[in-house]
Structure 1
Amino acid sequence: MTESQLFAPHDLPARWQRRRAFTFVDTTFSAFLALWQRWRDDEERCDRLHVLALAPLSALDAPPSPDDASPLAAELARAWPMRVAGLHRLEFDAGRVVLTLAIGDDIETLLSKLWLRADAFHLDLTATSDPRKLCKSLARFAGADATVCAIAADHEAPQLERALQASGFECAPHATHAHAPVTARFAPRWRVRRHEPPLPFDANAREAIVIGAGLAGCAVSSRLAGRGWRVTLIDRHALPARDASGNPAGVFHPIVWRDDSVAARLTRAGFLDALRRWQALESAHRDLRRSDAGLLQIADTAADADALADAIARFAYPSDYVQPMTRDQASRIAGVDVARGGWFFPRGGAISPAAVCVAQIAEASAKITPRMNTEVTRVAHDGRHWRAFDANGAEIAQAPVMVLANAHDAERLAGLYGEPTRSVRGQLTVLEPGALDALRMPVIGEGYAVPLGTDGALIGATYDIDDPDRAIREAGHRENIERVAGMLPALAKTPAGVRAGRVAFRCVTSDRMPMIGQLADESAARRDARALSGAWPLDLPRMPGLYGAFAFGSRGLVWATLAAELIASQIEGEPWPIERELAEAVDPARFLLRALRHGEIGAVQLSP
């Protein structure tokens, strides 16, 4: 298809001009470079261009490149992601051009997992086996007057046109010449979907309050500022990253399980997104103190090591993502003897959480106003704005949008149903130089050990549920040493002195998944408890402009940047960066939803 044939059915560039955003869905995996170039050439272009390209895993074997090797193709090649399934979000031109690669073997299944509002669809019907199912998916995502251009064999065109018309599209008269595409426009004469696809919270709102300046809050502030928002960032400490985000170092890595579970997919998406964000900060000369030797995970048992090696082979993970390791191989790359085999993450490692936070704020300093040494004791909505108040009842700030990224305190400020979060005390231990001096990389398993060079090694951490004690305990140091010695026998043979310790408190949920997204209007849900007994997440009433990013447990480094992108996308009505199933798994309203489905809230309301 020529460039004119690509743009003409969608009336581009006229339709994207002077718009905040335009979203183009492409199942041919061929339109992005042409769209990007046309966007660059148009002085009246939209502020943000989203291109969602769906393709099989094999498409990641090599980035597409035109014959003339254009600069845009070279830039795309440099950003090309790892060969793993899922959604990969790549940004260009300071984040104004966004390519989301949806990678999987079944286009129809991929479409059913997404959530977005599309302005244009460019389709290859040969990639689908069921035009009716495909067209129903298009109708779920189509914005007003969304256009369709579909490549189809001549004998398939009538069936496709009927499927489009049944889903609310008006088809243009089909051209008589061979290989003419089917074109249509979304103009339903009746309701064809249960839920409206995403819209911006408020097209005119460009101010937000973020409470909490740890990994979550700094990441959210950065992503909103990158979209032109002005952010008031509030924290009770004098500096960012003083609580759990203030640990000397943190480890980052995906997880590999015997099945590709929701947790494994979410952690993979977060890990890859974090790598992209950190690389951008480092390219801007921000020092994140990130290690570069990889990370080794030691299996709990030899059987687990064998099982995970089988899973790595079954899922065909690339070697730059994860590699199985025998005990001898693991000992060789670690530089010290290890107790068992495991698996190696070449792109995993350790990083300074505080350095990440500081870099994110500095990169967007023109748009972020920090309010440190300020504690928020209450929040309220006046019908238009969210307002934050201190202990004396004085207003700290107000804005149309508020994001609670303050860990344990978020539950209290939001008044969430069922007290879904718990506090976990974690004590870290810094060892004197000695037994682990030869350790070349972070090692995790029953505990973790991070080499600190001449400063020794950082090990940890205890996991003390609902323990509020901030004091350093000798028993905690012994527990950390014993646990790490179970992975690294040298620590048992050569006792190490303790140089320092630190206590921090992690916020977790009962299902160990984070809380990310728009908060539910729990008062409205209680009033309609009976009607919502069979509700889905999109059915729940939501608090206008109130979002949460908390309960990250020990995975803040992996989840924070992805959480920030999901929340910013929800606020702006942009395509979500992860599958809807994953977003629902971290929805802050999921515990309320379960209670409604089980009749718990209705039963409470009817009790005397």
Structure 2
Amino acid sequence: MSRRLIPAALAYADGVPYAAAYGDVYHSADGGLEQARHVFLGGNDLPRRWRDAARFTLLETGFGLGLNFLATWQAWQSHAPAHARLHYVAIEKHPFAPDDLARLHARWPELAALSAQLRAAWPPLVPGFHRVLLDGGRVTLTLAFGDIADCLPQIAMAADAFYLDGFAPSRNPDMWSPQVLSRLHRLAAPGATAATYTVSAAVRQALAAAGFACEKRPGFGRKRDMLAARYAPRWPLPPARPEPARRAVVIGAGVAGSAVCARLAARGWQLTLVERHEKWAAESSGNLAGIAMPLLSRDDNIPSRLARAAFLFSTHLWQQLGGVGSAFAGEACGVLQLARDAGHAALQRETVEALGLPPDFARFLGAEQAAAMTGNPAAAGGWLFPRGGWVTPSSLCEAMLASCGGLLERRFAQQASSLRHDGSEWTVQGDGGACIARAPVVVIASGTNAASFAQTRELPLAAIRGQVTHIPAGELPSLPVVLCGEAYVTRPANGICCVGATYDIDTDPALRQSSQDENLERLAQVLPQTSMGKDRPLAGRTGFRAVSPDRLPLVGALPDPCAAIGGSRLSDVPRLPGMHAVLGLASRGIIWAPFAAELLASQLEGEPLPVERELAAALDPARFALKAWRRRNG
């Protein structure tokens, strides 16, 4: 789905925000906020429908400057129950830059507090889905930056209402095409409504074909009519999704399990966290520093798009927790990924230019700039990720678990040995069969230890050894950023810089000299001015990463290894009832964990997914079983 994103250009026509590319205004000349309230809220019978709602889900087909969203948010605060959650999904092909949004939003001072919060959380202008948490989590905005023809098929949601708000059909016919509007029925919840300012016959016909009954209503301002519609298809609808029990056992208190607890507790789930050690983050999450950075590729492939989504959501969530360096240890100091040589530097430069990446997300530094930043005169250049940095995983785990408050019960120093399902609940059993915890949902987030359960034994996860070397900060140059290349070098964490990490196919947990020597050799390649003898004492830490064959995590409902697969799609793979996983986070667990937890929580709640359908499918734990079935069946 990824295409180069072209931001909106701020312009005005007779004082009204105007899009020259479409020859149309962003809202009525008779008043933008008033139009939003009359056409979109009024046309969908809002806020009356919110009175008893626990959750309400909206889809807007053209976010523009965000005025419809801000008007809806303001009304939600005034009229929806305090415990209710609003999910607002919006598509925008040409998003505005934050400075332009500030100029536009200044026209409505009554929305200043809300618009400031929106701009503070505004994502960088890169394509894809962006999940933004607002109003203390009461409002979730999912922005799909891209063409509607690409984005709409990738949205997974059941919308209670639609705001159809593109530029006029005569100016932007692609947005109003029958092919686009016919997809709305796949995204509509029973009883969904839709509203738009246009009464075009072609739009009415397309909506009717999608199962909507349309009616004209008085329009706003100088427009005589507007359109309101209700989803009332002639075909039978699937049964309503049952509400989840909102009780779960999470196994594993590393970054994955802690993140799962945090994102489920944010939705009101009662949780029991089972951990075999006496403290959280005792295994691979116990390193002094984990690096937060995205992944770039010239073709913007699926791993790159997933890593970008994970990086952006995780850094956004950290701000919601209180910020890196405040709520938990770390620094948002930036990350510099050095090129290997001049040829690689040229490829890095071409990648940033071809993808059209904004400098607040990624930019290329030439050889001179990279040399000045690192003190390495041989540096060929590199990618600078200004939003990146490092985090102490155990401190992050502590902050995420603390955010759960009284919804979390910790059962540490207890080994989960087996899992049994009685038809309604899972029992987590310890040695000897004693019950540790029970719940309808169990989430396996125990990294390499997941293979100890019969239900997860066939998952293709490998344990990859990684040894990190610890070097006192005074022995290394003072770097302004985290440095990555043949090795990574962090800024000091408690006076220690971390260098590593090895990638070994063995199970030796002890520190060893050969691994330290390997780290120091790679350190010399990125910082040749640093001289480290091989006779220095061993210092560091060894951990084991859980890695899948395609190097992507496993997030979602687990396949039933004993049931036959009935077809060639992921939906044809039988699942274990109530059993889910966040596994295989490999070397990027610090950014994968919060994003994977948000995806899993959205799946469990039946919420709009925070990412494209094809990207969620790329993380489905059943993908390996399905590939094996396809090989066997031609």
Deviations 1:160-206 (A, max 9, x none): 222222222222257799562332211221258xxx69x76x52512
**Match of residue 323 from structure 1:** 363
TM-score, normalising length: structure 2: 0.87
**Match of residue 581 from structure 2:** 548
Q: Is the aligned partner of 1:14 residue 2:56?
A: no
**Equivalents in 2 of 1:45, 1:123: separation in Å?**
27
Q: Is the aligned partner of 1:121 residue 2:158?
A: no
Out of 177, 191, 208, which is 1:165 matched to? 208
**Equivalents in 2 of 1:301, 1:158: separation in Å?**
60
**Match of residue 93 from structure 2:** 56
Identity of aligned residues (%): 38
Out of 608, 611, 615, which is 1:575 matched to? 608
| Count of aligned pairs | 585
User: How big is the shift at 1:58?
Assistant: 3.3
- Matched residue type, 2:354: R
**Equivalents in 2 of 1:333, 1:284: separation in Å?**
22
**Equivalents in 2 of 1:22, 1:513: separation in Å?**
32
Going from structure 1 to structure 2, the CA distance change for 1:314 and 1:122 (only over 3 Å counts) comes to same
Out of 414, 437, 440, which is 1:397 matched to? 437
**Match of residue 139 from structure 1:** 185
Q: Secondary structure at the match of 2:208?
A: helix
Out of 546, 552, 557, which is 1:507 matched to? 546
**Equivalents in 2 of 1:415, 1:2: separation in Å?**
51
**Equivalents in 2 of 1:247, 1:44: separation in Å?**
43
**Equivalents in 2 of 1:586, 1:161: separation in Å?**
38
**Equivalents in 2 of 1:312, 1:132: separation in Å?**
36
Going from structure 1 to structure 2, the CA distance change for 1:88 and 1:574 (only over 3 Å counts) comes to same
Q: Is the aligned partner of 1:478 residue 2:517?
A: yes
Alignment of 1:518-537 (within 5 A): 518-524=557-563, 526=564, 529=565, 531-532=566-567, 534-535=568-569, 537=570
Deviations 1:510-547 (A, max 9, x none): 100010112223433x1xx3x41x32x23433323221
- Matched residue type, 1:497: R
**Match of residue 293 from structure 1:** 333
**Match of residue 136 from structure 2:** 94
Out of 95, 109, 113, which is 1:71 matched to? 113
Deviates more, 1:248-257 or 1:440-449: 440-449
**Match of residue 196 from structure 2:** 150
Q: Is the aligned partner of 1:185 residue 2:185?
A: no
Going from structure 1 to structure 2, the CA distance change for 1:523 and 1:169 (only over 3 Å counts) comes to farther
Q: Secondary structure at the match of 1:275?
A: helix
**Equivalents in 1 of 2:36, 2:436: separation in Å?**
56
- Matched residue type, 1:509: S
Alignment of 1:345-360 (within 5 A): 345-360=385-400
Going from structure 1 to structure 2, the CA distance change for 1:7 and 1:496 (only over 3 Å counts) comes to farther
Q: Secondary structure at the match of 1:31?
A: helix
Alignment of 1:183-262 (within 5 A): 183-190=228-235, 202-203=242-243, 205-262=245-302
Going from structure 1 to structure 2, the CA distance change for 1:128 and 1:516 (only over 3 Å counts) comes to farther
Going from structure 1 to structure 2, the CA distance change for 1:441 and 1:419 (only over 3 Å counts) comes to same
User: How big is the shift at 1:413?
Assistant: 2.2
Going from structure 1 to structure 2, the CA distance change for 1:482 and 1:204 (only over 3 Å counts) comes to closer
- Matched residue type, 1:33: L
Going from structure 1 to structure 2, the CA distance change for 1:286 and 1:389 (only over 3 Å counts) comes to farther
Q: Secondary structure at the match of 1:561?
A: helix
Deviations 1:571-606 (A, max 9, x none): 111100011111011111110111222226xx9xxx
Q: Is the aligned partner of 1:28 residue 2:59?
A: no
Out of 128, 134, 153, which is 1:112 matched to? 153
**Equivalents in 1 of 2:451, 2:152: separation in Å?**
34
RMSD: 2.4
Deviations 1:235-257 (A, max 9, x none): 11110001110001111100111
Deviates more, 1:111-120 or 1:128-137: 128-137
Asked whether the 8 Å contact 1:417–1:591 carries over to 2, the reply is: no
Q: Is the aligned partner of 1:595 residue 2:628?
A: yes
Asked whether the 8 Å contact 1:266–1:582 carries over to 2, the reply is: yes
User: How big is the shift at 1:99?
Assistant: 1.2
- Matched residue type, 2:108: D
Going from structure 1 to structure 2, the CA distance change for 1:43 and 1:514 (only over 3 Å counts) comes to closer
User: How big is the shift at 1:286?
Assistant: 4.6
**Equivalents in 2 of 1:46, 1:183: separation in Å?**
29
- Matched residue type, 1:145: G
Deviates more, 1:244-253 or 1:169-178: 169-178
Asked whether the 8 Å contact 1:431–1:499 carries over to 2, the reply is: no
- Matched residue type, 1:580: R
**Match of residue 606 from structure 1:** none
Going from structure 1 to structure 2, the CA distance change for 1:256 and 1:184 (only over 3 Å counts) comes to same
Q: Is the aligned partner of 1:361 residue 2:401?
A: yes
Going from structure 1 to structure 2, the CA distance change for 1:159 and 1:364 (only over 3 Å counts) comes to same
Asked whether the 8 Å contact 1:17–1:45 carries over to 2, the reply is: no
Q: Secondary structure at the match of 2:140?
A: strand
Q: Is the aligned partner of 1:265 residue 2:305?
A: yes
- Matched residue type, 1:589: A
- Matched residue type, 1:575: P
- Matched residue type, 1:51: Y
**Equivalents in 2 of 1:60, 1:399: separation in Å?**
45
Q: Is the aligned partner of 1:37 residue 2:74?
A: yes
**Equivalents in 2 of 1:382, 1:340: separation in Å?**
61
Q: Secondary structure at the match of 1:490?
A: coil
Q: Secondary structure at the match of 1:160?
A: helix
Q: Secondary structure at the match of 1:588?
A: coil
Q: Secondary structure at the match of 2:413?
A: coil
Q: Secondary structure at the match of 1:371?
A: strand
Asked whether the 8 Å contact 1:54–1:102 carries over to 2, the reply is: yes
User: How big is the shift at 1:28?
Assistant: 3.1
**Equivalents in 2 of 1:474, 1:543: separation in Å?**
44
Going from structure 1 to structure 2, the CA distance change for 1:179 and 1:485 (only over 3 Å counts) comes to farther
- Matched residue type, 2:52: R
- Matched residue type, 1:187: A
User: How big is the shift at 1:346?
Assistant: 1.1
**Equivalents in 1 of 2:618, 2:36: separation in Å?**
42
TM-score, normalising length: structure 1: 0.91
**Equivalents in 1 of 2:615, 2:625: separation in Å?**
17
Deviates more, 1:7-16 or 1:311-320: 7-16
